[in-house]
């Protein structure tokens, strides 16, 4: 039975019904709708719309329904009702008859859906925060395992300066920490309760909205009924958090796909996150990482779709807003699955320290050290930069590294070079020099790992 119909002479076309119904996807709000309804029944009792006896019967039936829904959530999707709110009311009528028809007193589907959806988003944000914390833990563990392993660092995909592999790991820990803080912030901001805002103007019953909000685990009640039913910022924020986090995961994927390539050979991904080729027996493809990279587009698609849907929507509720759900219901489990998969990839990584070291030693990535050496001898950096450029050209011409040039060759470019030049060109020296806060020296990375572990224990 529809929740409306009195003012209509005919029912909806089948095609329109299919177009209009949201139950095929908003059945996922069943638990939240029932929990919200239990709270609303309590509020109605307090304002004497429901007697104690009626309240008891309704709440018992709602809890019964909650058990049924939890046992078989999919069954709800096919009941033929217009949306989850209609479904719950119809199911309640089946259980307690006409009494169920009192439950919608003073309430609108507009404040109802806004409340249900916020509850869903809040719970989902909590799950994702847990998963992000676990992923961060995996990066920290890898950093500890590979604390002193040397990795070539790149800019423009050209070898730039050597890094510690652990420094690479801790870079992603920084990103995840920001993702967590953004999500926690969005979660706190969405935690206000629209229930009792009515269709748009507020409810005409003297409901204690603050108590209602706190009872549902919200921080407080929303303060403006018109905004409360029209606002979907929480959906936009969640999708924005998801998009930014997915960008990080896709950059991680890209780094690792490259490190795992035959050409680089820096790491080997575990068998449990890779797949083979139907034709080429030798292949072991980084599918998990490629899918994370690919799904980033899908999550961002949901974010931009939501922004476009809301653009220029007049206040208050418009049916356009029903389009807020499918994208989010797809994006959130996708995001969660990608976080879990990223964790599995990081967990099984085997680093080939010989290959990373050899690559870091090549590519003249100690050239900056040479310029700094000249600076220490009193030559202005810009001039030193030029001198080293000439030496790099010389090394390239003879197919060697900078440290393979003879002292005579160094001195042929500038007489200030002495035997001590070779010590600064050693790869360990390049790493050791990065002692300022946030640098890649072992000391700095060790502090970063220690701090991250401490924070991890606190949160
Ligand atoms: N299914 C609707 C949605 O998801 C519920 C709210 C309907 N409100 C209304 N006035 N038609 O947005």
Is the model's pLDDT at 250 over the cut of 80?
Answer: yes
* C-alpha 233 – ligand 1 centre gap (Å): 17
CB 352 within 8 A of CB 320: no
What is the helix (H) or strand (E) element at residue 220, kind and residue range?
strand 220-221
- The ligand 1 atom nearest the CA atom of 325: 4
Residue 354 to residue 352: CA distance in whole angstroms: 6
If you measure from the C-alpha of residue 256 to the centroid of ligand 1, how many angstroms do you get, rounded to a whole number?
A: 44
CA of 446 to the centre of ligand 1 (A): 53
Q: State percent of the chain over pLDDT 90.
A: 93
Note the pLDDT of residue 282. Answer: 81
User: How remote is the CA of residue 113 from the centroid of ligand 1, in Å?
Assistant: 7
How confident is the model at residue 55, as a pLDDT? 98
Give the C-alpha distances (Å, rounded to integers) separating 222 from 157, 227, 229, 244, 304: 50, 8, 10, 28, 26
pLDDT band at 53 (very low <50, low <70, confident <90, very high): very high
Which pLDDT does position 32 carry in this prediction? 98
Separation of CA 229 and ligand 1 centre (Å):
10
pLDDT of residue 312: 98
Among 83, 111, 115, 310, name the best residue to mutate to test ligand 1's pocket (greatest count of ligand atoms within 8 A of Cβ): 83
Tell me the pLDDT tens digit for each residue of 3-42.
Answer: 777 888 888 899 999 999 999 999 999 999 999 999 999 9
449: part of which helix (H) or strand (E)?
helix 442-458
State phi, psi for 326 to the nearest 5 degrees. Answer: -60, -40
User: Of ligand 1's atoms, which has the minimum distance to the CA of residue 317?
Assistant: 10
Q: Is 13 exposed, middle or buried (0-12, 13-18, 19+ CB in 10 A)?
A: exposed
Ligand 1: atom nearest CA of 83 is 1
Quick check: 2 pLDDT over 80? no
160: helix, coil or strand?
A: strand
Q: Which of 110, 120, 194 to mutate to test the pocket of ligand 1 (most atoms within 8 A of CB)?
A: 110
| pLDDT > 90? residue 279 | no
What is the mean pLDDT of the segment spanning 222-230? 98
Question: What is the C-alpha separation between 327 and 304, in angstroms, rounded?
Answer: 10
Instruction: Report pLDDT for 7.
Output: 82
Distance CA 194, CA 115 (A): 6
Instruction: Report the distance separating Cα 25 and Cα 23, nearest Å.
Output: 5
Residue 117 Cα: closest atom of ligand 1: 4
- CA 42–ligand 1 middle distance (angstroms): 23
Give the per-residue pLDDT at 459: 67
pLDDT of residue 19: 97
Residues 6+ apart with CB under 8 A from 256: 267, 269, 286, 289, 345, 349
Q: Provide the pLDDT for residue 275.
A: 85
The contacts of residue 161 (CB under 8 Å, 6+ apart) are 153, 365, 366, 368, 430
Evaluate whether 417 touches 410 at the Cβ level (below 8 Å).
yes
Judge contact between 107 and 114, C-beta under 8 A: no
> Which pairing describes strands 220-221 and 267-268: parallel, antiparallel, or unpaired?
unpaired
pLDDT at 1 over 90: no
Smallest CA separation from ligand 1 atom 4, residue:
322
Question: Is the pLDDT reported for residue 243 higher than 90?
Answer: yes
> How is residue 341 written in tokens?
């998969």
The pLDDT score that the predictor gives to residue 278 is 81
Sorted by sequence, the CB contacts under 8 Å of residue 15 that are 6+ apart come out as none
- Write out the catalytic residue numbers: 156, 277
- Write the ipTM: 0.97
DSSP string computed for 68-110: HHHH-HHHHHTS--SSHHHHHHHHHHHHHGGGGGGTTTT--HH
Q: For CA atoms 269, 274, 279, 281, give the dihedral sign.
A: positive
Residues with CB under 6 A from ligand 1: 22, 26, 83, 109-110, 113, 317, 321-322
Compute the distance from residue 46 Cα to the ligand 1 centre, in Å.
27
How confident is the model over 335-344, as a mean pLDDT? 98
Give the per-residue pLDDT at 12.
85
Determine which residue's CA is closest to atom 2 belonging to ligand 1: 322
Residue ranges in 348-403 assigned as alpha helix (H)? 353-361, 367-376, 381-397
Where is average pLDDT lowest: 6-15, 67-76, 81-90, 152-161? 6-15
* CA gap 91, 94 in Å, rounded: 5
Closest ligand 1 atom to Cα of 84: 1
In percent, the amount of the chain with pLDDT more than 70 equals 100
pLDDT of 416 strictly over 90 = yes
pLDDT mean over 378-400: 95
How does residue 439 score in pLDDT terms, banded at 50, 70 and 90? very high
Residue whose CA lies nearest to ligand 1 atom number 12? 322
The burial class, CB within 10 Å (0-12 / 13-18 / 19+), for 323 is middle
pLDDT of residue 276: 83
Atom of ligand 1 nearest to the CA of 322: 12
Across the chain, mean pLDDT equals 96
SS3 193: strand
Q: Which of 30, 114, 322 to mutate to test the pocket of ligand 1 (most atoms within 8 A of CB)?
A: 322
Entry field: residues in the chain: 459
Q: Residue 458 above 90 pLDDT?
A: no
CB proximity list for 195: less than 8 A, separation 6 or greater: 36, 39, 40, 107, 111, 112, 115, 209, 212, 213, 216, 221
pTM assigned to the model:
0.94
Decide which of 281 and 75 is more confident.
75
Q: Ligand 1 test: best mutation among 21, 109, 231, most atoms within 8 Å of CB?
A: 109
């Amino acid at each position: 039975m529809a929740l409306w119909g009195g003012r209509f002479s005919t029912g909806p076309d089948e095609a329109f019904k299919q177009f209009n119904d949201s139950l095929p996807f908003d059945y996922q709000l069943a638990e939240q709708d029932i929990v919200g309804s239990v709270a609303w029944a309590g509020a109605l009792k307090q304002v004497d719309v429901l007697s104690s006896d009626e309240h008891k019967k309704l709440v018992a039936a709602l809890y019964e329904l909650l058990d049924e829904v939890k046992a078989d959530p999919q069954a709800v999707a096919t009941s033929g009702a217009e949306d989850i709110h209609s479904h719950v009311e119809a199911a309640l009528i089946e259980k307690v008859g006409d009494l169920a028809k009192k439950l919608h007193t003073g309430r609108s589907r507009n404040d109802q859906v806004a409340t249900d959806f916020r509850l869903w988003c809040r719970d989902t944000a909590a799950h994702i925060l847990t998963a992000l914390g676990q992923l961060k833990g995996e990066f920290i563990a890898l950093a500890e395992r590979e604390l002193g392993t040397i990795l070539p660092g790149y800019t423009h995909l050209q070898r730039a300066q050597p890094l510690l592999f652990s420094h690479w790991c801790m870079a992603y820990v920084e990103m995840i920490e920001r993702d967590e803080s953004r999500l926690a912030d969005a979660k706190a901001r969405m935690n206000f309760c629209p229930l009792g805002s009515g269709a748009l103007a507020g409810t005409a019953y003297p409901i204690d909205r603050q108590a209602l909000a706190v009872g549902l685990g919200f921080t407080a009640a929303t303060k403006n009924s018109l905004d409360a039913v029209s606002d979907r910022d929480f959906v936009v924020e969640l999708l924005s958090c998801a998009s930014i986090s997915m960008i990080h995961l896709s950059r991680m994927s890209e780094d690792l796909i490259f490190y795992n390539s035959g050409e680089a050979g820096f790491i080997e991904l575990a068998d449990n996150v890779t797949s083979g080729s139907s034709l080429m027996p030798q292949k072991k493809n980084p599918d998990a990482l490629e899918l994370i990279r690919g799904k980033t587009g899908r999550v961002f698609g949901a974010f931009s779709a939501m922004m476009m849907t809301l653009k220029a929507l007049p206040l208050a509720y418009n049916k356009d807003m029903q389009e807020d759900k499918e994208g989010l219901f797809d994006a959130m489990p996708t995001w969660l699955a990608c976080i879990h998969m990223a964790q599995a990839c990081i967990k099984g990584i085997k680093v080939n320290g010989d290959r990373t070291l050899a690559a870091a030693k090549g590519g003249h990535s100690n050239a900056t050290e040479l310029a700094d050496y000249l600076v220490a001898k009193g030559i202005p950096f810009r001039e030193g930069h030029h001198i080293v450029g000439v030496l790099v050209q010389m090394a390239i011409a003879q197919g060697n590294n900078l440290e393979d040039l003879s002292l005579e060759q160094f001195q042929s470019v500038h007489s200030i070079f002495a035997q001590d030049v070779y010590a600064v060109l050693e790869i360990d020296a390049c790493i050791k020099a990065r002692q300022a806060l946030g640098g890649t020296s072992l000391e700095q990375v060790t502090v970063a790992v220690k701090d991250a572990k401490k924070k991890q224990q606190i949160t």
